[in-house]
């Protein structure tokens, strides 16, 4: 069947007026390239579900794709004991198409005989993850593309443990999707089917109670906060959480307060991007605030900015937020030898030093919060207690309220820490300075190289292959002493020592360690056409030396090393 015939078949089955119109325009115009881009491949289901640009055809996010994926998910769930009665939680954010996609998910699942616990209205992603465990559901589906550009949407799956799916579940669901047949033939339950019930109010209340059970210090609440949801869906729940915790002085950035799928005030709706917090920081200056807090559009990431002590403001990195949260919870929370903290291989090595200083367990996983959730579940099974897990991309899990990153509960803990420190005449930055004096300044940076077009995947593979087969002997004049190839599962040494096996599952990630302790790592993004670079330098703080001086040295070294690493990728 040629691409035009395939497009005509799709057009006949498509229930969405907008994608039908898009496809008809392309067919009438004879735009073979655009048709091939939509029908030459399909969105692949992986451990993050599916995510991609909106549009017609199997290579875009649309209602037929959502129906086909849900039919596959339902088929895989049929193998789980009791899944029909346990049901599936379904939620969605405010992106274009999200409400219609979530309705299709609910109707396909109900048509397959499964109960559906529908979160009505707009739902932050952590609320879906929480609801799965709270309701004892067999799985959860959230329609979201998180912090992707406005043109994207996605489909995220949680399993019965409340965590994102991991291998081999992703492959099993993908195989079930392949076997689902023509998406136009997927059975749908009628609107109003009795197997679909709304559960919004009860699970939101339960989530708030669970988050408020984290170690908090309610006697200290003198804190002026500026908050932004970046045009997303977290404002209502995060605002209620802060209010119930006793934070009365919270100002929401008006221009970004309401959900808006076009994200008009930011270039990208990602709080990692430079400029994303500009409006919030300007408001904080105007109000003489103590803390800026931000969530990304679906509420699972946390960003923050603090006064720099010199009249300005400084946006904290994901590593700084994660290590501050870990230090705070280990110092001020419940004690005990069963405590564990965790992070990913591309995050700062500082957390390992914090864990050693507190004599608590430490786990290091591959990138992706699905692996950190797995580490938390493994810790629980072994009698341990996950205090904090984080990844450098602004994801943090405080305790196990949610078995995934949760920017709303993380915002609460950061606010609690800032208020408690303020009552003692200190700031969040002071905790960071204390860590630097004890363990050195750990400066980290990331760089994403976007590789659009059909050659993008091959360019990514070429970079990784070159670094694997012809690694540099030195970077910026410092010798490379070890290469970690996570695809091959080995770490090799320049001094001729025997290679050692890595403990992480195979993944396309290359890491280089330099003689001065610096680390350079590179991997492809799992959800976007990006090559992601990670750089870390460690700069000791001399006795009596201001931390700011050592931080300046670290920042200069970090900038030079980052540019050298970018050049290495070609």
What is the homologous superfamily of the domain 212-439 according to CATH? Alpha-D-Glucose-1,6-Bisphosphate, subunit A, domain 3 (3.40.120.10)
pLDDT in tens, the chain (570 residues): 689 999 999 999 999 999 999 999 999 999 999 999 999 999 999 877 999 999 999 999 999 999 999 999 999 999 999 999 999 999 999 999 999 999 999 999 999 999 999 999 999 999 999 999 999 999 999 999 999 999 999 999 999 999 999 989 999 999 999 999 888 899 999 999 999 999 989 999 999 999 999 999 999 999 999 999 999 999 999 999 999 999 999 999 999 999 999 999 999 999 999 999 999 999 999 999 999 999 999 999 999 999 998 889 999 999 999 999 999 999 999 999 999 999 999 999 999 999 999 999 999 999 889 999 999 999 999 999 999 999 999 999 999 999 999 999 999 999 999 999 999 999 999 999 999 999 999 999 989 888 777 677 778 888 888 888 888 999 999 999 999 999 999 999 999 899 999 988 899 999 999 999 999 999 988 666 788 999 999 999 999 999 999 999 999 999 999 999 999 887
Q: Are 344 and 368 in contact (CB under 8 A)?
A: yes
Cα–Cα distance measured from residue 88 to residue 91, given in angstroms and rounded to the nearest whole number: 10
Q: Would you name the residues annotated as active-site residues?
A: 146
Same CATH topology for 3-201 and 212-439: the answer is yes
Q: Are 90 and 109 in contact (CB under 8 A)?
A: yes
Pick the CATH number of 441-569 from 3.10.580, 3.30.310, 3.40.50, 3.30.70: 3.30.310
CA count, 13 A, side-chain hemisphere, 392: 25
Nearest partner of 416 among 336, 319, 304, 338, judged by Cα: 304
Distances in Å between the alpha carbon of 76 and those of 131, 178, 344, 433? Answer: 20, 12, 29, 50
What integer pLDDT is reported at residue 451 of this predicted model?
A: 76
Count other C-beta atoms under 10 Å from residue 224's C-beta: 18
What integer pLDDT is reported at residue 527 of this predicted model?
A: 62
Cα–Cα distance measured from residue 128 to residue 146, given in angstroms and rounded to the nearest whole number: 13
Domain boundaries, the chain: 3-201, 212-439, 441-569
Cα–Cα distance measured from residue 201 to residue 215, given in angstroms and rounded to the nearest whole number: 24
Q: Are 538 and 517 in contact (CB under 8 A)?
A: yes
Measure the CA dihedral 232/257/19/174, to 10°: 10
What is the homologous superfamily of the domain 3-201 according to CATH? Alpha-D-Glucose-1,6-Bisphosphate, subunit A, domain 3 (3.40.120.10)
Strand order from edge to edge, sheet including 339-344: 361-365, 339-344, 385-391, 395-398
């Amino acid at each position: 069947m040629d691409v035009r015939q395939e497009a005509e078949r799709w057009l006949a089955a498509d229930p969405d007026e907008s994608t039908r119109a898009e496809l008809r325009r392309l067919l009438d115009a004879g735009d073979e390239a655009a048709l091939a881009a939509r029908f030459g491949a399909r969105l692949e289901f992986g451990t993050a579900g599916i995510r991609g640009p909106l549009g017609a055809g199997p290579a875009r996010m649309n209602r037929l794709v959502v129906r086909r994926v849900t039919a596959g998910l339902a088929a895989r769930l049929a193998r789980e004991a009791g899944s029909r009665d346990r049901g599936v939680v379904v939620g969605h954010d405010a992106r274009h198409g999200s409400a219609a996609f979530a309705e299709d998910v609910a109707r396909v699942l109900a048509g397959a005989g499964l109960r559906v616990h529908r979160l009505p209205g707009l739902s932050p992603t952590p609320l879906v993850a929480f609801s799965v465990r709270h309701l004892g559901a067999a799985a959860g589906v959230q329609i979201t593309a998180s912090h992707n550009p406005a043109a994207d949407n996605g489909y995220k799956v949680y399993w019965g443990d409340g965590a994102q799916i991991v291998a081999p579940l992703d492959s099993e669901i993908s195989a079930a999707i392949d076997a689902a047949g023509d998406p136009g033939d997927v059975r749908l339950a009628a609107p109003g089917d009795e197997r679909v019930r709304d559960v919004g109010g009860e699970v939101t209340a339960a989530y708030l109670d669970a988050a408020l059970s984290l170690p908090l210090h309610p006697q200290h609440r003198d804190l002026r906060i500026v908050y932004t949801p970046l045009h997303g869906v977290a404002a209502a729940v995060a605002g209620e959480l802060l209010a119930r915790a006793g934070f009365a002085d919270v100002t929401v950035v008006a221009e970004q307060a309401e959900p808006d799928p076009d994200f008009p005030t930011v270039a990208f709706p990602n709080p990692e991007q430079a400029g994303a917090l500009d409006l919030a920081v300007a408001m904080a200056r105007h109000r003489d605030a103590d803390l800026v807090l931000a969530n990304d559009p679906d509420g699972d990431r946390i960003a923050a900015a603090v006064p720099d002590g010199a009249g300005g403001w400084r946006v904290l990195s994901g590593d700084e937020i994660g290590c501050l949260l870990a230090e705070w919870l280990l110092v001020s929370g419940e004690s005990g030898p069963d405590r564990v903290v965790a992070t990913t291989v591309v995050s700062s090595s500082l957390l390992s030093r914090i864990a050693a200083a507190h004599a608590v367990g430490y786990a290091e996983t591959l990138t992706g919060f699905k692996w950190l959730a797995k580490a938390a579940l493994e810790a629980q099974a072994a009698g341990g207690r996950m205090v904090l897990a984080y990844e450098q991309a602004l994801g943090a899990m405080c305790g196990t309220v949610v078995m995934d990153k949760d920017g709303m509960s993380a915002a609460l803990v950061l606010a609690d820490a800032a208020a408690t420190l303020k009552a003692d005449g200190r700031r969040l930055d002071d905790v960071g300075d204390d860590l630097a004096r004890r363990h050195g300044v750990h400066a980290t940076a990331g760089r994403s190289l976007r590789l659009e077009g059909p050659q993008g995947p091959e360019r990514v593979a070429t970079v990784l292959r070159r670094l694997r087969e012809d690694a540099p002997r030195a970077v910026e004049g410092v010798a490379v002493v070890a290469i970690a190839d996570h695809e091959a599962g080995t770490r090799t040494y320049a001094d001729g020592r025997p290679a050692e096996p890595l403990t992480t599952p195979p993944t396309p990630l290359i890491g280089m360690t330099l003689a001065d302790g610096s680390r350079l790592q590179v991997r492809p993004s799992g959800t976007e056409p990006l090559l992601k670079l990670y750089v870390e330098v460690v700069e000791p703080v001399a006795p009596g030396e201001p931390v700011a001086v050592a931080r300046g040295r670290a920042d200069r070294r970090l900038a030079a090393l980052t540019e050298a690493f970018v050049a290495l990728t070609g």
